[in-house]
Structure 1
Amino acid sequence: MNFQNKKNALVGYGFDENLMRSLKGDPSLKESVYNRERTQSIVDDNIDELMDVVLSLLLFTGIFRIVIGLNNGEIKTSSVFDPFNVEIHLAEDLLVKEYVSSHFGMIDLDEKEALIKRYYQMLENDPAFNYLSDEWQKTAHQRNKNMKRLADEEELRYIVEHIPALRNLDGYYLRSAVINLFNSTISMSFNCDGTQIMSHKKFREFIEEYV
């Protein structure tokens, strides 16, 4: 495979600080959006407290990816301590301090970043790495060598603090959000069935335009 000429994934192997992409959903859902009022959920009733927990998980625990289901209260997490697993939690459970302390291992952002780099170094030295093409191996070595910081803490705080505002947009509202530290992206699905995918860096621009 020629890596120089191939089409890249929208969010995938590399890091794109300028990523900002809108994906259209089912047109019939967009047309009927004003006829479908939002039902108050347990997330809505506790959104500020829950967002504090989400931020804490991203900054101070092993969580590097979190999916926030604002409609149904389903919270999916991926941790550096169990990287191939996806845990599913109820929003109401995350509001209980004892639950959080017993389910999430503590680690600061810098050490979490260092651990991810070590995982990739282990992979590069594993015999299975040779299953990849020479071009892929070369690209992987270069990506891992130049791997950037997981996330800017100020950008991350800004994102989490503004999720409630996106839940309360006039007519449109946020249904779910995926925050990923590894490639510094956020993906947001709205009630019109559209999806917005962007880098953490571009999120502020999005908020300033639409909120």
Structure 2
Amino acid sequence: MINSDLQSNWKDSIYRQREELARMLREPIERVAELLHAVWPDKQQMEDVLLHGFSSIPYCTSLYVLDMNAVQLTENIGHAGVVTGHYNRDRSQRPYMREPVPSWGFLLSDAYISLVAHRPSLTALKTIRRGDSVLGYLGADFDLRDLPVTSQLYKEPELWRQIKGDPAIRSGLFLQTRVESPMDRNMDQTLSILEEMLTERGVFQTQIHFSSSQATIWMNDDPYRYRILDIDALKDPDICLVYPRQPYPAEAVIPANQIATILDNFKILRAGDPNIYLRLATINLYNGMVSLTFSCDGSHYMPYDEFLLKNLTFWFGDIAA
């Protein structure tokens, strides 16, 4: 289950982007549509209107005219001019034709995957009117790669989220028990080394795979590449010699003195119950979040301080007693 606050966050960002795109595209599309009713339904004359008006619509990849049944009355008009093979094409089953056109006669569709390029795209539809009668639609297609992004990237919300995993794994949860891994046998040594890496050696994110005895790390001075530390590295303090000492980042949300406590809590959740146990955990210093994936395949994402407030009863219920 994805928290509704997260949905509103990224959906609000999409809404603002679509509002700006509609504001940018509506007027030039309407100007072309207003010229079509006078030459309706002559194919050649409508294509001439589209050819003349194509360059006035920013970022457009193709223009075409549809009748009320979404059957195409013209060829496609694109950057290279007339693109044949589309006349009489039935677009009635395309996603944008299933959305209701608002009463004001202009629709900017939801994004969809295009048939030819298989890329995220969207379509604008403008009703073509003669008096009070609706004749058809002017369609304008856009490749999302070409459209400008006008809204800011949404911020990942700093709140607890729980996401359910594979039902097949959950259904067999009590048929399995934790098997001790090499990391389990070297847990204290491993967590001490990871604490050193996070607080003194420039690691800003680590993903700890308890069951497979490895950790993936991301470095401040090389953030686009990850590095994998196997159990041989994780139990050998000499690994710290490979990574020069660096100041703890001032932008980090998690205080350096809380890293050891977080790792200790991971250890407790790993060994707290033979059936429900921690398989994977992540710490990110900059967004202040930890993530946890358990043997039931369920995942939790939460701020580090909220995580530290949770006791065993929260995670394991009455089993913790």
**1:8-47 alignment runs, 5 A limit:** 14=155, 16-17=157-158, 19-47=159-187
Task: Count how many residue pairs are aligned between Structure 1 and Structure 2.
Answer: 169
Q: Which has the higher strand share?
A: 2
Q: Which has the higher helix share?
A: 1
SS of the counterpart of 1:39? coil
1-side partners of 2:256 and 2:278: how far apart? 23
Say yes or no: does 1:150 pair with 2:289. Answer: no
Say yes or no: does 1:182 pair with 2:321. Answer: no
Unaligned stretches of 5+ residues in structure 2: 1-8, 15-152
**Change in 2 beyond 3 A, CA 1:87/1:48:** same
- What is residue 163 of structure 1 aligned with on the other side? 266
Q: Per-residue deviation at 1:69?
A: 0.6
Given that 1:21 and 1:197 are in contact with CA atoms closer than 8 Å, whether structure 2 keeps it comes out as yes
SS of the counterpart of 1:155? helix
Which residue identity does 2:247 align to in structure 1?
Answer: D
SS of the counterpart of 1:175? strand
Q: Per-residue deviation at 1:4?
A: 9.1
Given that 1:94 and 1:100 are in contact with CA atoms closer than 8 Å, whether structure 2 keeps it comes out as no
- Alignment partner of 1:107 out of 246, 269, 275: 246
- What is residue 93 of structure 1 aligned with on the other side? 233
SS of the counterpart of 2:296? coil
The structure number with the bigger radius of gyration is: 2
Say yes or no: does 1:61 pair with 2:165. Answer: no
Unaligned stretches of 5+ residues in structure 1: 114-147
- Relative contact order, higher structure (CA 8 A, sep 6+): 1
Q: C-alpha deviations, 1:29-76, integer Å up to 9, x for none?
A: 112111111111110001111111111111111100001110111210
Given that 2:209 and 2:215 are in contact with CA atoms closer than 8 Å, whether structure 1 keeps it comes out as yes
Which residue identity does 2:172 align to in structure 1?
Answer: S
Relative to the length of structure 2, the TM-score reads 0.49
Q: C-alpha deviations, 1:101-149, integer Å up to 9, x for none?
A: 12x221121xx33xxxxxxxxxxxxxxxxxxxxxxxxxxxxxxxxxx54
**Change in 2 beyond 3 A, CA 1:59/1:15:** farther
2-side partners of 1:36 and 1:75: how far apart? 24
**Change in 2 beyond 3 A, CA 1:15/1:149:** farther
